[in-house]
Structure 1
Protein backbone atom coordinates (compact mmCIF):
# COMPACT_ATOMS: atom_id res chain seq x y z
CA UNK A 1 0.00 0.00 0.00
CA UNK A 2 1.32 3.43 -0.90
CA UNK A 3 1.72 6.26 1.60
CA UNK A 4 -1.03 8.16 -0.24
CA UNK A 5 -3.45 5.24 0.06
CA UNK A 6 -2.67 4.99 3.76
CA UNK A 7 -3.33 8.72 4.16
CA UNK A 8 -6.71 8.31 2.44
CA UNK A 9 -7.59 5.53 4.89
CA UNK A 10 -6.69 7.83 7.79
CA UNK A 11 -8.78 10.59 6.21
CA UNK A 12 -11.80 8.25 6.15
CA UNK A 13 -11.08 7.35 9.79
CA UNK A 14 -11.51 11.04 10.67
CA UNK A 15 -15.06 10.97 9.30
CA UNK A 16 -15.84 7.85 11.35
CA UNK A 17 -14.34 9.03 14.64
CA UNK A 18 -17.21 10.19 16.88
CA UNK A 19 -15.15 11.19 19.92
CA UNK A 20 -14.46 14.91 19.35
CA UNK A 21 -11.04 14.93 21.05
CA UNK A 22 -9.84 11.80 19.25
CA UNK A 23 -11.18 13.11 15.94
CA UNK A 24 -9.36 16.42 16.36
CA UNK A 25 -6.10 14.57 17.03
CA UNK A 26 -6.55 12.68 13.76
CA UNK A 27 -7.37 15.90 11.91
CA UNK A 28 -4.19 17.51 13.26
CA UNK A 29 -2.14 14.47 12.17
CA UNK A 30 -3.31 14.35 8.55
CA UNK A 31 -4.38 17.88 7.56
CA UNK A 32 -2.12 20.84 6.86
CA UNK A 33 -2.93 23.81 9.08
CA UNK A 34 -4.27 25.80 6.12
CA UNK A 35 -5.93 22.91 4.28
CA UNK A 36 -9.03 23.74 2.27
CA UNK A 37 -12.09 21.47 2.10
CA UNK A 38 -14.66 22.14 -0.62
CA UNK A 39 -17.82 20.23 -1.52
CA UNK A 40 -21.25 21.36 -2.77
CA UNK A 41 -22.34 22.12 0.82
CA UNK A 42 -19.17 23.51 2.41
CA UNK A 43 -16.07 25.53 1.60
CA UNK A 44 -13.78 25.89 4.61
CA UNK A 45 -10.12 26.46 5.37
CA UNK A 46 -8.19 25.19 8.37
CA UNK A 47 -8.28 22.25 10.72
CA UNK A 48 -10.91 23.61 13.11
CA UNK A 49 -13.30 24.47 10.28
CA UNK A 50 -12.86 21.03 8.68
CA UNK A 51 -13.43 19.35 12.04
CA UNK A 52 -16.64 21.37 12.41
CA UNK A 53 -17.85 20.13 9.00
CA UNK A 54 -17.23 16.51 10.04
CA UNK A 55 -19.06 17.08 13.34
CA UNK A 56 -22.03 18.60 11.49
CA UNK A 57 -22.25 15.61 9.14
CA UNK A 58 -22.11 13.23 12.11
CA UNK A 59 -24.90 15.20 13.79
CA UNK A 60 -27.02 15.11 10.64
CA UNK A 61 -26.43 11.37 10.10
CA UNK A 62 -26.00 9.85 13.58
CA UNK A 63 -24.61 6.33 13.63
CA UNK A 64 -23.73 6.36 9.93
CA UNK A 65 -20.37 5.05 8.71
CA UNK A 66 -18.26 6.35 5.84
CA UNK A 67 -17.01 3.44 3.75
CA UNK A 68 -14.05 3.81 1.42
CA UNK A 69 -14.36 2.56 -2.13
CA UNK A 70 -11.77 2.43 -4.89
CA UNK A 71 -8.64 4.57 -4.45
CA UNK A 72 -6.55 5.82 -7.38
CA UNK A 73 -3.34 7.75 -6.68
CA UNK A 74 -0.51 9.31 -8.63
CA UNK A 75 2.10 11.89 -7.76
CA UNK A 76 0.56 14.16 -5.11
CA UNK A 77 -3.09 13.32 -5.84
CA UNK A 78 -5.59 10.73 -4.72
CA UNK A 79 -9.16 10.24 -5.84
CA UNK A 80 -11.54 7.83 -4.23
CA UNK A 81 -15.17 6.91 -3.91
CA UNK A 82 -17.01 6.66 -0.64
CA UNK A 83 -20.47 5.87 0.72
CA UNK A 84 -22.18 7.08 3.89
CA UNK A 85 -24.89 5.02 5.52
CA UNK A 86 -25.83 2.79 8.39
CA UNK A 87 -23.49 -0.15 8.92
CA UNK A 88 -24.72 -2.95 6.67
CA UNK A 89 -27.52 -0.79 5.27
CA UNK A 90 -28.20 1.16 2.10
CA UNK A 91 -26.02 4.20 1.59
CA UNK A 92 -27.78 7.55 2.01
CA UNK A 93 -24.95 9.59 0.47
CA UNK A 94 -22.47 8.55 -2.23
CA UNK A 95 -19.63 10.61 -3.59
CA UNK A 96 -15.99 10.91 -4.44
CA UNK A 97 -13.16 13.14 -3.29
CA UNK A 98 -9.94 14.36 -4.83
CA UNK A 99 -7.19 15.01 -2.30
CA UNK A 100 -4.01 16.99 -2.87
CA UNK A 101 -1.10 15.83 -0.73
CA UNK A 102 1.83 18.13 0.00
CA UNK A 103 5.52 17.27 0.13
CA UNK A 104 5.06 17.12 3.91
CA UNK A 105 2.75 14.11 3.52
CA UNK A 106 -0.30 16.05 4.73
CA UNK A 107 -3.62 16.73 3.02
CA UNK A 108 -3.57 20.28 1.64
CA UNK A 109 -6.89 20.30 -0.17
CA UNK A 110 -9.97 18.18 -0.64
CA UNK A 111 -12.50 18.61 -3.42
CA UNK A 112 -15.64 16.60 -2.73
CA UNK A 113 -18.38 15.65 -5.16
CA UNK A 114 -21.78 14.24 -4.24
CA UNK A 115 -23.39 11.68 -6.55
CA UNK A 116 -26.33 10.76 -4.30
CA UNK A 117 -27.83 12.97 -1.59
CA UNK A 118 -31.05 12.36 0.33
CA UNK A 119 -33.90 14.79 -0.29
CA UNK A 120 -33.77 17.72 2.10
CA UNK A 121 -30.07 17.35 2.91
Structure 2
Protein backbone atom coordinates (compact mmCIF):
# COMPACT_ATOMS: atom_id res chain seq x y z
CA UNK A 1 0.00 0.00 0.00
CA UNK A 2 2.98 2.33 0.30
CA UNK A 3 3.14 2.46 -3.51
CA UNK A 4 -0.49 3.48 -3.84
CA UNK A 5 -0.01 6.24 -1.22
CA UNK A 6 3.03 7.44 -3.20
CA UNK A 7 0.88 7.49 -6.37
CA UNK A 8 -1.90 9.29 -4.49
CA UNK A 9 0.43 12.07 -3.34
CA UNK A 10 2.12 12.26 -6.75
CA UNK A 11 -1.30 12.88 -8.29
CA UNK A 12 -1.94 15.77 -5.89
CA UNK A 13 1.44 17.26 -6.89
CA UNK A 14 0.91 16.83 -10.63
CA UNK A 15 -0.58 19.17 -13.20
CA UNK A 16 -1.94 18.89 -16.72
CA UNK A 17 -1.25 15.75 -18.69
CA UNK A 18 0.85 14.20 -15.90
CA UNK A 19 -2.09 14.55 -13.50
CA UNK A 20 -4.53 13.01 -16.02
CA UNK A 21 -2.12 10.14 -16.62
CA UNK A 22 -1.76 9.42 -12.89
CA UNK A 23 -5.53 9.56 -12.42
CA UNK A 24 -5.96 7.03 -15.23
CA UNK A 25 -3.25 4.71 -13.93
CA UNK A 26 -4.02 4.71 -10.21
CA UNK A 27 -7.58 5.96 -9.64
CA UNK A 28 -10.87 4.23 -10.42
CA UNK A 29 -13.01 6.19 -12.90
CA UNK A 30 -15.80 5.97 -10.27
CA UNK A 31 -13.63 7.21 -7.36
CA UNK A 32 -15.40 9.04 -4.54
CA UNK A 33 -13.67 11.59 -2.33
CA UNK A 34 -14.89 13.47 0.75
CA UNK A 35 -13.19 15.78 3.22
CA UNK A 36 -14.51 18.63 5.41
CA UNK A 37 -14.32 21.08 2.49
CA UNK A 38 -15.26 19.01 -0.56
CA UNK A 39 -17.12 16.01 -1.89
CA UNK A 40 -16.40 14.95 -5.48
CA UNK A 41 -16.43 11.88 -7.67
CA UNK A 42 -14.76 10.66 -10.84
CA UNK A 43 -11.56 11.77 -12.50
CA UNK A 44 -12.98 15.15 -13.52
CA UNK A 45 -14.09 15.88 -9.96
CA UNK A 46 -10.70 14.88 -8.57
CA UNK A 47 -8.85 16.94 -11.16
CA UNK A 48 -10.91 20.04 -10.35
CA UNK A 49 -10.35 19.51 -6.61
CA UNK A 50 -6.60 19.05 -7.01
CA UNK A 51 -6.31 22.06 -9.32
CA UNK A 52 -8.23 24.16 -6.77
CA UNK A 53 -5.88 23.15 -3.96
CA UNK A 54 -2.85 23.92 -6.12
CA UNK A 55 -4.29 27.36 -6.97
CA UNK A 56 -4.98 28.09 -3.30
CA UNK A 57 -1.44 27.04 -2.28
CA UNK A 58 0.83 27.84 -5.25
CA UNK A 59 4.29 26.30 -5.07
CA UNK A 60 3.38 24.02 -2.15
CA UNK A 61 3.81 20.25 -2.29
CA UNK A 62 2.01 17.35 -0.66
CA UNK A 63 4.24 14.95 1.25
CA UNK A 64 3.76 11.95 3.49
CA UNK A 65 4.10 12.51 7.24
CA UNK A 66 4.83 9.35 9.20
CA UNK A 67 4.08 5.77 8.20
CA UNK A 68 1.26 4.16 6.27
CA UNK A 69 -1.02 1.89 8.29
CA UNK A 70 -2.77 -0.61 6.02
CA UNK A 71 -4.82 -3.76 6.05
CA UNK A 72 -6.91 -5.54 3.46
CA UNK A 73 -7.62 -2.97 0.72
CA UNK A 74 -7.38 0.18 2.83
CA UNK A 75 -4.68 2.50 4.09
CA UNK A 76 -4.55 5.45 6.43
CA UNK A 77 -1.77 7.99 6.48
CA UNK A 78 -0.96 11.56 7.42
CA UNK A 79 0.15 14.10 4.84
CA UNK A 80 1.49 17.63 4.90
CA UNK A 81 1.17 20.53 2.47
CA UNK A 82 3.75 23.29 2.41
CA UNK A 83 6.84 24.63 0.72
CA UNK A 84 9.16 21.77 -0.22
CA UNK A 85 11.56 21.03 2.64
CA UNK A 86 9.73 23.28 5.13
CA UNK A 87 7.27 22.56 7.91
CA UNK A 88 3.80 21.84 6.43
CA UNK A 89 1.26 24.65 6.65
CA UNK A 90 -1.63 22.18 6.34
CA UNK A 91 -1.66 18.66 7.81
CA UNK A 92 -4.31 16.07 7.08
CA UNK A 93 -5.12 12.43 7.59
CA UNK A 94 -6.62 10.35 4.78
CA UNK A 95 -8.07 6.87 4.52
CA UNK A 96 -8.16 5.36 1.07
CA UNK A 97 -9.66 2.14 -0.22
CA UNK A 98 -8.60 0.42 -3.42
CA UNK A 99 -10.86 -1.63 -5.67
CA UNK A 100 -10.24 -5.21 -6.82
CA UNK A 101 -7.88 -3.95 -9.54
CA UNK A 102 -5.77 -2.00 -7.02
CA UNK A 103 -6.99 1.45 -8.08
CA UNK A 104 -8.04 4.12 -5.57
CA UNK A 105 -11.83 3.82 -5.28
CA UNK A 106 -12.70 5.83 -2.17
CA UNK A 107 -10.97 8.49 -0.06
CA UNK A 108 -12.06 9.97 3.27
CA UNK A 109 -10.01 12.98 4.30
CA UNK A 110 -9.64 14.81 7.60
CA UNK A 111 -7.86 18.10 8.30
CA UNK A 112 -5.69 18.17 11.42
CA UNK A 113 -3.98 21.54 10.97
CA UNK A 114 -5.13 24.43 8.79
CA UNK A 115 -3.85 28.01 8.52
CA UNK A 116 -5.68 30.55 10.65
TM above 0.5, yes or no, is yes
Q: CA deviation at 1:97?
A: 0.3
Task: Please state if 1:98 is matched with 2:98.
Answer: no
Task: Please state if 1:39 is matched with 2:32.
Answer: no
Runs of 4+ in 1 over 2 A off after TM superposition: none
Query: What CA distance in whole angstroms lies between the structure 1 residues aligned with 2:86 and 2:76?
Result: 24
Paired residue secondary structure (1:21): helix
Q: CA deviation at 1:21?
A: 1.2
Q: Which residue of 1 aligns with 2:76?
A: 79
Correspondence list, 1:43-58, <5 A = 43-58=39-54
Paired residue secondary structure (1:91): coil
Q: CA deviation at 1:90?
A: 2.3
Paired residue secondary structure (1:23): helix
Q: Which residue of 1 aligns with 2:59?
A: 63
Query: What CA distance in whole angstroms lies between the structure 2 residues aligned with 1:89 and 1:33?
Result: 34
For residues 74-116 of structure 1, the C-alpha deviation after alignment (integer angstroms, 9 at most, x for no partner) is 1010000100000122211001100011111111100000000
- Structure 1: state its 5+ residue gaps: none
Paired residue secondary structure (2:80): strand
For residues 3-49 of structure 1, the C-alpha deviation after alignment (integer angstroms, 9 at most, x for no partner) is x22111111101111x3111111011111111101000100011110
- TM-score (normalizing by structure 2): 0.95
